[in-house]
Amino acid sequence: MLTLAFVTLLYLCLAGVGVYLMKHVFAKMNHAPYPPGPRGLPLVGNIQDIPHVKPWLTFAEWGKKYGDISHINVLGLHIFVLNSVKTAVAMLDKKSSIYSDRPVVPMSGELMGYAQTLAYLRYGERFRLFRKNCHRIFGSRSALVVYHPIEEMETRRFLKCVLAKPDRLQAHIRHTAGAIILRICYGYEVKEDNDPLVDVAERALDQFSRYGITGDFMVDFLPSLAMLPEWFPGAGFKRLARECRETVEEMAAAPYKFVKDQMAAGTALKSFSSDLLKGRTVTAEEDHVVKWSAASLFSGGADTTVSAIYSFFLAMTLFPDVQKKAQAEIDAVVGPDRLPSFTDRPSLPYIEALAKEVLRWNVVIPSIDHCTTEDDIHDGYYIPKGSLIIPNIWFMLNDPETYANPSEFNPERFLAKDGKEPETDPRTVCFGFGRRLCTGLHLADASIWISTVMSLAVFDVSKVVENGVEITPEIDPSSGLISHPKPFKCSIEARSDKALALIQQDTS
């Protein structure tokens, strides 16, 4: 059995090397050069240069050394890293018709099941239907007004939870994000604790964070390894992928069944799914598209806003002067007798700037993959069909030529002052580019803003003091598709008796 296994593995490896050599030979036939980049090894190329920990930092170093576009080759796969907004816009926005595909990712996409979600979907008709559905419901700020009461109510409940158990801040943020996205996507109202649909989302996100990073498994570079059976030596990734796929399928199916059951009973609340299903008979394809459109929003929204809001609390812990300025604006505009609402947003420019700085300062999605569907020549460089294009969003939002002192948390950079224009709005970069622009960007923006303004209205956030020593949190974001701040301690207390009364208002 081991002999057969060895022969099979050898065959698969030789097949992979053969594909690489053929690609290498054909690549030599083009007349334009590749962009500069790290020098690779024979046959395997730059496989040793792929960064697995905080890759955006390595990508930024390549940018300093090689320019706005750098290139590596891993087993025949061409990878291009973009380190400037100008280059990303020129390629991914202006030539979006050929730069909007996604690469096939064998582990997280095909084996774990995420290939059915919008983030992994190949560019084509189904992709366009997904985006059309999302744009119809969430395509503008004005379209989201109908969901503002849900966001405000769930954020009020969040304030109560934080007041009761401030040491469980991250769990409260995650629960609230899940509650908002489940209510908006499916009309589902979560239970206070241990909600089954929130739990399955958290399980899926935990599995994705551990096993979903592209390149962590050799199958991402040698897709033929996916044909190996689970019992095959070294094929343990197949078992992990199967377990993850079961969770992903449950995450998509359980809430979708709920909303369809509610519609059949005539008790469904207004939601993304019910709006797309009501009043018509859907085909099997349309049913699949609605189901996985909702699952895409659910899985994405349940984690990205968590990172941003947790980053906000980290910033308030580290930068008390910013917190005081923001609270002074809220006190002047809103007053102490009510909580802020979305109707106050146009009157709170400093809060608006603070929410922007949260998105810039601790980048939620440091980079995101695009793939080319045709050969291209860009700035004299050859970009082959099927290449992986990675815009380094982290560096674009930390580029000192765009943002003064980028490591500093400074909301005032986004306010016009003394004749100086505001710095570039990070929302033009942090949500991606071209036809891969995040479909839930307006929902994420609204969730971050309302959580920021309500929390500042009633809470003072500060460093924890233990045994007479003030504990300063570390700024150390995690690696992964979605980057989170390192867990930290902070003190969260009601600002006043009036603030306490506002938090304790009935939210039933």
Q: Tokens 């500060």: give the residue.
A: 462
Mean pLDDT of all residues belonging to the chain: 89
Q: Within a 13 Å sphere around the CA of 414, how many CA atoms are in the beta-carbon half?
A: 23
Is 103 contained in some domain?
yes
What's 268's domain CATH number?
Answer: 1.10.630.10
The structural domain count of the chain equals 1
SS percent in the chain: helix, strand, coil, step 5 = 55, 10, 35
Q: Tokens 């929130």: give the residue.
A: 198
Label residue 133 by pLDDT band (50, 70, 90). Answer: confident
pLDDT tens digit string along 118-132?
Answer: 888 999 888 888 888
Out of 191-205, 236-250, 409-423, pick the least confident.
191-205
Is 60 contained in some domain?
yes
* CA distances (Å), origin 325, targets 282, 349, 410, 457: 52, 11, 11, 12
Label residue 384 by pLDDT band (50, 70, 90). Answer: very high
Is 508 contained in some domain?
no
* CA distances (Å), origin 271, targets 116, 117, 134, 205, 229: 21, 19, 12, 23, 41
pLDDT tens digit string along 301-337?
Answer: 777 899 999 999 999 999 999 999 999 999 999 999 9
CA 24, chain centre distance (Å): 34
pLDDT tens digit string along 7-34?
Answer: 344 444 555 555 555 555 454 555 789 9
> Taking the complete model, does pTM exceed 0.85, yes or no?
yes
Is 8 contained in some domain?
yes
71 strand-pairing partners? 80
Range of the domain at 15: 2-503
Determine the Cα–Cα distance for residues 441 and 431; give it in Å rounded to an integer: 6
